[in-house]
Each structure stands twice: as structure tokens, then as C-alpha cells.
């Protein structure tokens, strides 16, 4: 079928102008916005959904995976929201569970305190670019298309949506075949205290044994000793940035959720009923930009150290099988640095990309993708955007010493420095 290509031209009214525009309100975006605001900049955060927290709330992830050190804005969030989890020694690795509903509320209040202007239901649709600079981003809002003008832009969409639209090269998934990690619809079950009738709605799968399950294993967390079970057991082969894949995944993952719950109700959780299903199927991996440096498997495995370090992690290599077979490649790592250059695209002077879509190979991103690391990257991106404004420099020309000094003032500590 030969489909037409249309030229789409519109006059778009500017809605506001800010120093720093952050697009996407997940871990990276919220930290980027806070960090830039603390440097005295006027910051606007555009989020396409109705909530902040990204996959951490939208996909009910509900667990902060350990990264080896807990510093900066991530430490602050854990200590303010979950004070009982913070060990006196910040260097200790922790993996607290949290309520996604509480995180959502907490982040709303936090943004107010930090004077970040958040706009919900604002979905980025395109950039207005002039030469090597982005002048504005256009978002679809409840009042139609509006432009948001800025001096610096930070793409925290997780999909590198802004960067790709601005012409930054990107790749997706495994180097050999482009397959990304599968999608998962998280859900919770609640102990009702009495036997429930296992429910298997039309279209669902009658799993009989553990090997029938989508991951071939049980994967859940008993939360807070209050009878809540957080279940991470569905698995759908799909790239969360592709129209057809997402359509398939949303329906398939829901079928799996009911099927898994039915299986659990017959095998140890006879008194549990589904209490909540995440608003959207979680996306682990979509697009990676090509930045000034690409984090590699060797960097992760060999514990690479970089002079322009902006985040550190020792989270394992953790690859849920991209072809949706029942395996997960899990390999412990000792710890490594992520350099600033992974967030800097070559083509644009006033854009950074923070969070899971930084410049990294498929294997390297499987380790850096967890929330704490994304908070750290976002925090560094926010500070870097502010510095580049103060210095009137392009994002790839800022002083790394200055960046480290600002991050230190913001409570970031790098192990080994």
C-alpha cells in the first residue's frame, strides 16, 4: 500500500517562555527540573500523562533497585518519602519498596516547593529548530497545539522523542536485530483473608505449571507486611515506542495479568484478589540516542571510570529476554561511572537527553536503566543546563569542574572521588 506523505504546516501560539524546559516527568525529568530550579532557573516540566514518576508510578514499578550509593536528589526523595529505609551510611546500597500512589502525591508537592511549573496532559509532538538550536517545543495540550519556548531543553521522555525529532541519530534494542527488552504490566493482589474463587476471564490462559508462565518463573514482592503482593510476571515481546507493538502489548499484557492471578490463586495465594492494575504496560527499553560517548558492555563489566562522571551504579546487567523467551540474563557488576557525554547529542547545542534513553548499547542500558540512576542523570542534566546558561556555552562546552562543584553542593557524592 502506497500511503501519502503530507506537509503539515501550522501557526502555533507560544504559551510561555522559560529558561529550561524539561520534557517527560519520570525519575530523570523530575530530578532534572528540581536541579535546574535549584540553580535559580525558571523551569517548566511537560508531562503527557496525569502524573509524575514515569514508569515508577505509571507502570507501578514500586521498587527502587539498588545502585551502590544513595546520594543527591534520589537520597532526598527516599529520605523524605521513606525515612525508615535510609541507612545512616549513604554509601550502602538499598532497594526500598514504595507506594506509587504516595510517590505521585509526594512529587506533586515536591515540585511546588521547588517552584517547578508542571504541565500535565502536555504531550511533546515536535521541535522548532533553528540551526543547531531548539527554539521551542510544540506540545499537544488540552487547548490544542502550543509552543513552549526555552533556552535549554532536557529530553526525559525515555524514548528520546525530542532528540529524534530534532534530528539526533538513535538506535533501538539489540545491535544484531533491534529487539528491545519486553514490556510488563505490573499489578497488585491483596490478601482478603478468605478463600477467593479463581477467576479466568474470556480470552485468558489457563496456566497449569510454573513453566507455562510468561517468564517461566514466579516474580513478586510481598509488600509492607499488609497482605499486598506486587506482581512482575507478565512479559510481552514489544517495543514500547512502536504503534503496533504497543497496541498488541496493552491487550496481551492484560490477558496475562488475569491469567497469572488465576494461576497464583490456585498455587499458594488462594485468599488473594487483584486489587490494582497499572494504568499502562511498563516499558523497559525503546530508543537510545547517539551521544558524544556510548556506554558499552565493556564499560559496565570492567568498571570504567570517567573524568566527566555524572552518575554511578553497580546495578547488575539485567536483560529480560527480548525475544520473549522465558530467560533473563542477570550478571553482577562491581560498579562503574556514566560520563556526561552520554547525555550530549552532537547535533544540537542546547539539548541534553537524560534517563534510560542516553547513549548506551543494549547491554549497558539494561544496567543503567533503573530509577536511581535515572534520577542521578536527570539531576546532572538539570545542573548542566543551568551552567551552560550561566556560561553562555553549548551543552558540550560546559566546565565539568563546575558541574561537579554544583552537584556536590546539591548533595551528590561519587564513590572513589
Ligand X SMILES: Cc1cc2nc3c(=O)[nH]c(=O)nc-3n(C[C@H](O)[C@H](O)[C@H](O)COP(=O)(O)OP(=O)(O)OC[C@H]3O[C@@H](n4cnc5c(N)ncnc54)[C@H](O)[C@@H]3O)c2cc1C
Separation CA 137–CA 23 (nearest Å)? 9
The crossing angle, in degrees rounded to 10, of helices 72-81 and 27-38 is: 110
356 vs 404 by CB, closer to ligand X: 356
Give the shortest CB-265-to-ligand X separation in angstroms.
22
58 vs 196 by CB, closer to ligand X: 58
Give the shortest CB-194-to-ligand X separation in angstroms.
30
Give the shortest CB-365-to-ligand X separation in angstroms.
9
343 vs 407 by CB, closer to ligand X: 343
Give the shortest CB-184-to-ligand X separation in angstroms.
4
The crossing angle, in degrees rounded to 10, of helices 100-113 and 72-81 is: 120
Give the shortest CB-319-to-ligand X separation in angstroms.
12
32 vs 406 by CB, closer to ligand X: 32
User: Do 139 and 162 touch, CB atoms closer than 8 A?
Assistant: no
Nearest alpha carbon to residue 291 among 407, 395, 181, 138? 395
The grid coordinates listed for 194 are 478468605
User: Do 229 and 188 touch, CB atoms closer than 8 A?
Assistant: yes
219 vs 394 by CB, closer to ligand X: 219
249 vs 403 by CB, closer to ligand X: 249
Q: Is 407 helix (H, G, I), strand (E, B) or coil?
A: helix
Residue 153 CA neighbour count, 13 Å, CB half:
33
Binding site for ligand X (CB under 6 A): 23-29, 46-49, 54-56, 58-59, 61, 63-65, 123-124, 156-159, 161, 184, 186, 232, 282-284, 355-356, 369-371, 374
The CB density around residue 415, as the number of other CB atoms within 10 Å, is 13
Give the shortest CB-151-to-ligand X separation in angstroms.
19
Give the shortest CB-245-to-ligand X separation in angstroms.
14
Nearest alpha carbon to residue 237 among 157, 195, 289, 183? 183
User: Do 237 and 182 touch, CB atoms closer than 8 A?
Assistant: yes
34 vs 370 by CB, closer to ligand X: 370
Amino acid at each position: 500500500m502506497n500511503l501519502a506523505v503530507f506537509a503539515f504546516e501550522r501557526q502555533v501560539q507560544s504559551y510561555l517562555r522559560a529558561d529550561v524546559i524539561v520534557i517527560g516527568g519520570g525519575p530523570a525529568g523530575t530530578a532534572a527540573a528540581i536541579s535546574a530550579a535549584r540553580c535559580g532557573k525558571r523551569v517548566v516540566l511537560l508531562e503527557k500523562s496525569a502524573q509524575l514518576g514515569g514508569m515508577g508510578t505509571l507502570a507501578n514499578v514500586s521498587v527502587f533497585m539498588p545502585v551502590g550509593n544513595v546520594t543527591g536528589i534520589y537520597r532526598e526523595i527516599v529520605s523524605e518519602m521513606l525515612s525508615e529505609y535510609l541507612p545512616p551510611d549513604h554509601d550502602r546500597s538499598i532497594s526500598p519498596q514504595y507506594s506509587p500512589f504516595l510517590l505521585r502525591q509526594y512529587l506533586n508537592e515536591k515540585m511546588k516547593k521547588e517552584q517547578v511549573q508542571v504541565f500535565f496532559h502536555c504531550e511533546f509532538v515536535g521541535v522548532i529548530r533553528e540551526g543547531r538550536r531548539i527554539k521551542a517545543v510544540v506540545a499537544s495540550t488540552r487547548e490544542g497545539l502550543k509552543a513552549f519556548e526555552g533556552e535549554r531543553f532536557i529530553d526525559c521522555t525515555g524514548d528520546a522523542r525530542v532528540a529524534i525529532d530534532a534530528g539526533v541519530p538513535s538506535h533501538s534494542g539489540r545491535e544484531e536485530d533491534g529487539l528491545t527488552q519486553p514490556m510488563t504490566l505490573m499489578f497488585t493482589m491483596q490478601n482478603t483473608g478468605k478463600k477467593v474463587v479463581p477467576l479466568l476471564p474470556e480470552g485468558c490462559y489457563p496456566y497449569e505449571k510454573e513453566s507455562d508462565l510468561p517468564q517461566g518463573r514466579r516474580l513478586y514482592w510481598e509488600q509492607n507486611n499488609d497482605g499486598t503482593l506486587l506482581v512482575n510476571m507478565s512479559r510481552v515481546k514489544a517495543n514500547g515506542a512502536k504503534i503496533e507493538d504497543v497496541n498488541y502489548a496493552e491487550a496481551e499484557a492484560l490477558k496475562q495479568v488475569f491469567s497469572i492471578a488465576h494461576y497464583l490463586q490456585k498455587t499458594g495465594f488462594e485468599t488473594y484478589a487483584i486489587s490494582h492494575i497499572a494504568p499502562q504496560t511498563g516499558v523497559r527499553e525503546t530508543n537510545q540516542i547517539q551521544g558524544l560517548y556510548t556506554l558499552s558492555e565493556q564499560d559496565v563489566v570492567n568498571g570504567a571510570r570517567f573524568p566527566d562522571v555524572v552518575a554511578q551504579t553497580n546495578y547488575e546487567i539485567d536483560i529480560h529476554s527480548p525475544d520473549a523467551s522465558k530467560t533473563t540474563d542477570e550478571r553482577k557488576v562491581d560498579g562503574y561511572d556514566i560520563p556526561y557525554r552520554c547525555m550530549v547529542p552532537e547535533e544540537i547545542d542546547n539539548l541534553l537527553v537524560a534517563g534510560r534513553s542516553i547513549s548506551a548499547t543494549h547491554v549497558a542500558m539494561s544496567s543503567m536503566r533503573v530509577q536511581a540512576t535515572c534520577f542521578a542523570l536527570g539531576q546532572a542534566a538539570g545542573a548542566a543546563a543551568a551552567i551552560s546558561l550561566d556560561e553562555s556555552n553549548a551543552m558540550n562546552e560546559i566546565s565539568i569542574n563546575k558541574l561537579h562543584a554544583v552537584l556536590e553542593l546539591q548533595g551528590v557524592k561519587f564513590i572513589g572521588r
